[in-house]
Amino acid sequence: MHNLVERMKNSDIRALAKAITMVENDHPEKLTLMREVFSMEKNAHFIGITGPPGAGKSSLVNRLITQIRSEGKTVAIIAVDPTSPFSGGALLGDRVRMNEHFTDDGVYIRSMATRGSLGGLARATKDALRICDAYGFDVVIVETVGVGQSELDIMKVVDTTALVLTPNSGDVLQIFKAGIMEIADLFVINKGDLPGYGKLKALLRELVMMTATENHEKAIIKTISTENKGIDKLWEKINEHHDFLYATDEGRKRRSSQQKHEVYELLREEIWRDVKGFIEANEDFSPIDEDSDPYQQAIDWFQKWKKEGVN
C-alpha cells in the first residue's frame, strides 16, 4: 500500500495534504496513488460553487460549513484559482472568510492552483475530490474564483453545481454566453438584501422553465449570507438534487460520461508524458530534419516515437 494511503487511513491530515500536492504537481507516482485512492471510494457528495468574483461564494461556503457540521457531517473545501500561478489575493480572502472553522477537525480547507499540471486544473480537482472522499469527508465543496472556461470544466467533475449570482451584478449575460447556465443544477441569488432581486428572479425563472422536465426543475434560492438567511433552504435544495441524481438515471448517465471523458484525459496525459520524455531523452529538442517546418517536425518526432519510443 502507498505510504500516503496508509497514513490517510489512519486519519493523518498531513498525508491528505501531501496527496493533493502530488496530483497538483503531476508527480510520477500519481496514477499508482490514485488507483489506491479510487479503490477506497466512499461516495462523498461533490458540490461545486461557482459565480462571478464578489458574488458571496466564500461567505456562503462558510455558512454551509456551519450547516453541514450541525448535522454531524464532515466537510472539505477545495478553493481553486485557475487564473493565478500563485495562490493570490482572492484565495487569501476566502481563507479569512472561513477562518472560524480552522480549528475544527471535521473541516479541511485547501486552495489549489494550476502550476504545471498536464491534465489541467479540472483533472487535478477531480483527483483532489477523490482524495478527500477516500479520507472520509462526507461532503466536498469546490469553490471557484470566477466563471470562465476552466471553471466550466471544473464544474463537470462534481455532482451538484450551484451558480451564485447577485441582483446588482451585470454579468448575467456574460455567464449566459459562457454556457454556465446549462451546467448549473441550481441557482442562488445571494445578496437578496440588495435591490434588483425580483428582476433577476424573473429572468432565472424563465430560464428554468425552458429547461424543466417532467420530473426535474432547477431550484432558485434566495440567500443573504451576511445575515445567515436562506442557508438551510440552500442546503436542502442541494441535497434534493443529490437525491434526484441517485433516484433517476441521470446520476448514472452523468457518472459514466464523466468517466469516459476522464479515461481520454488520462490517456492524453500519459501519452504526452511518454512522447515528451522520449524527445528529451534524445538529448535535445533539435529537429530531425534541420530545414523542416514545425508541422513536419511534429510529424517526424511522432513517427520516430512510434517506431522507437513505444515498446
Q: Which residues here bind ligand GDP, judged by CB under 6 A?
A: 51, 53-59, 93-94, 97, 190-191, 193-194, 224-226
Question: By CB under 5 A, how many residues form the interface with Mg ion?
Answer: 3
Give the residue with the Cβ less far from ligand GDP, 119 or 192: 192
Residue that has been written with the C-alpha cell 424573473 in this structure: 202
Determine the interface stretch with Mg ion among 28-36, 49-57, 226-234, 243-251 (rule: CB under 5 A): 49-57
Beta bridge partners of 229: 224
Q: How far, in Å, are 252, 275, 282, 297 from residue 293 at the CA level?
A: 47, 19, 19, 6
Cα(77)–Cα(254) distance, integer angstroms: 22
Residue 54 binding target from Mg ion, ligand GDP, none, CB below 5 to 8 Å by type: ligand GDP
Min CB(93)–Mg ion separation in Å: 6
Min CB(155)–Mg ion separation in Å: 15
Give the residue with the Cβ less far from Mg ion, 19 or 59: 59
Give the residue with the Cβ less far from ligand GDP, 114 or 228: 228
Residues 272-311 that bind Mg ion (CB under 5 A): none
Cα(224)–Cα(125) distance, integer angstroms: 28
Q: Which residue is nearest to Mg ion (CB)?
A: 58
Half-sphere exposure of 5 (CA within 13 A, CB side): 17
Confirm if 78 and 125 have CB atoms less than 8 A apart. yes
Min CB(151)–Mg ion separation in Å: 12
Give the residue with the Cβ less far from Mg ion, 58 or 169: 58
Alpha helices in the chain (DSSP H): 3-9, 13-24, 30-39, 57-70, 89-97, 120-135, 149-155, 172-178, 180-183, 197-211, 231-247, 249-281, 294-304
Min CB(278)–Mg ion separation in Å: 42
Q: Could you say whether residue 57 binds Mg ion (CB under 5 A)?
A: yes
Q: Could you say whether residue 63 binds Mg ion (CB under 5 A)?
A: no
Q: Could you say whether residue 58 binds Mg ion (CB under 5 A)?
A: yes
Among 94, 133, 151, 171, binds Mg ion (CB under 5 A): 94
Cell of 26: 503531476
Min CB(98)–Mg ion separation in Å: 9
Beta bridge partners of 112: 80
Cβ contacts of residue 47 below 8 Å, gap of 6+? 139, 140, 141, 142, 158, 159, 160, 161, 162, 238
Positions touching Mg ion (CB under 5 A) are 57-58, 94
